[in-house]
Amino acid sequence: MAPYEIRVIGDPVLKQAAADVEEIDSKVVRLVDDMVATMYAAPGIGLAAPQIGVQKRLFVWDLDDGTGPHAIVNPEIVESDGEWTFQEGCLSVPGLSWDITRPNRVHVVGRDLDGNEVSYEASELEGRMFQHELDHLNGVLLVERLDDDQARDAKRQVRDIMLGLDKEKPPSRRLSLR
pLDDT at 173 (0 to 100): 33
pLDDT at 144 (0 to 100): 87
Catalytic residue among 23, 83, 126, 133: 133
Q: Indicate if 144 belongs to the active site.
A: no
Full 3-state SS string of 50-70: HHHCCCECEEEECCCCCCCCE
End-to-end CA distance of the chain: 29
pLDDT at 175 (0 to 100): 32
The pLDDT tens digits of the residues spanning 120-139 come to 999 999 999 999 999 999 99
- Listed as ranges, residues in the chain with pLDDT below 70 are 161-178
pLDDT at 162 (0 to 100): 59
pLDDT at 166 (0 to 100): 54
Total-model pTM:
0.87
Q: Which residues lie across from 56 on neighbouring strands?
A: 19
Q: For 79, which DSSP code?
A: E
Q: Which DSSP string corresponds to 104-151?
A: SEEEEEEE-TTS-EEEEEEEHHHHHHHHHHHHHHTT--GGGGS-HHHH
Q: How many Cα atoms occupy the beta-carbon half-sphere of 97 within 13 Å?
A: 10
CB 91 within 8 A of CB 153: no
pLDDT at 176 (0 to 100): 29
Which domains does the chain possess? 12-145 (3.90.45.10)
pLDDT at 172 (0 to 100): 39
